[in-house]
Amino acid sequence: MTKKTLFEPYSLGSLTLANRIVMAPLTRNRAGPGFVAGDLTADYYGQRASAGLIISEATQISQQGQGYQDTPGIYTQAQIDGWRKVTTAIHEKGGHIFLQLWHVGRVSHVDLQPNGAAPVAPSAIRAETKTFVNNAFVDVSQPRALDLNELAGIVNDFRQAAANAINAGFDGVEIHGANGYLLDQFARDGSNVRTDAYGGSVENRARLMLEVTAAVVEEIGAERTGIRISPVSPANGISSSDPQAQFNYIVDQLDALGIVYLHVVEGATGGTRDIARFDFESLRRRFSKTYIANNGYDLELASSHLAEGKADLFAFGRPFIANPDLVERLQSGAPLAQMNPATLYGGGAAGYTDYPAFA
């Protein structure tokens, strides 16, 4: 039996990926006027097209869904047209890209919301976190609880955003159900104290995430639909008293919907992998399609987990920032460049498209 490697092709639904390395979503705050992804964004992603799959930076499904300045949207024609430049750049180089669909919920600021309104959330509980707005990191604003009759509109915004993404040429979409944003806020009892059909029990708290996923599947098909979850990450002030029960149930239901992949942040987002006890292999067993593992992976860890059958694909995040040719560097053993943290968020080409490939 041939030993699997990260550099062999992989079948993801109807797509044949060149390798098992995924570029994880990376917010870079460089959208232009109208929150449009422009030519510079196309250059950036095109440089990284050798990844087996690129998952785009988080992209808001509506103005209400925005939480940070200069992040792109997918709810206007100009935004669709801008993203089409990106997908064309990827496809011309033989790559594949999914768009990550995002509603931040309470992780926002009144200066970003329509008419200066309060951000929305499952419950009126302020997140203990900051956001990036007006060129500074500031505390998020106090949210208001969504009315029951507003939730169908949220679902429809995700549905329409998925349709817009396909119109823009994306190979599929990833629903952002992780990192303390809206769908994760509903799933966690630290942020959801509702007493209606969307709060209380494990099943009720999962309802919005599953309704969104079902709507996206109905709109664009299961083989074009993935989702990202982060069961124990405390990102953006999120918490849960029962993550194993909550996410075992969620993954069972996601598997029943037949979506093409499950993307799991194992541990604290961008932090330690062992922040809390959790059986991630339980999620792997429960999900019958592709499992993408994320958080702290390097070549050695990813290779060993692939050999052990713990995941199918492996997401690399920040290493892709300074290494547009990360796949080639990993395969050849070339050294990895280090990113400049001062140019991580906002700005122009510096620290974005000017990192060279390895000579």
Please return the burial class of 239, using the count of CB atoms within 10 Å of its CB with bins 0-12, 13-18 and 19+: middle
Integer Cα distance of 103 and 98 in angstroms: 16
Cα(45)–Cα(144) distance, rounded to whole angstroms? 36
Which residues are catalytically annotated?
Answer: 181
Concatenating the DSSP letter of every residue in 234-247 gives: -GGG---S-HHHHH
Sign of the C-alpha dihedral computed for residues 118, 122, 123 and 126 taken in this order: negative
Residue carrying the six token digits 């949207």? 73
Buried b (16+ CB within 10 A) or exposed e, 29-39: bbbeeebbbbe
3-state DSSP call for residue 115?
helix
* Distance (Å, whole) CA 64 – CA 72: 13
Nearest to 159 by CA among 56, 240, 62: 62
| Residue 110 burial (CB count, 10 A) | 14
H or E element, residue 313: strand 313-316
Residue given tokens 């498209």 in the structure block: 353
| CA neighbor of 105 nearest in space, from 245, 209, 251 | 209
Q: List the one residue out of 220, 221, 65 whose CA is nearest residue 153.
A: 65
Token reading at 330 = 């990993």
Q: Which residues pair with 99 in a beta bridge?
A: 173
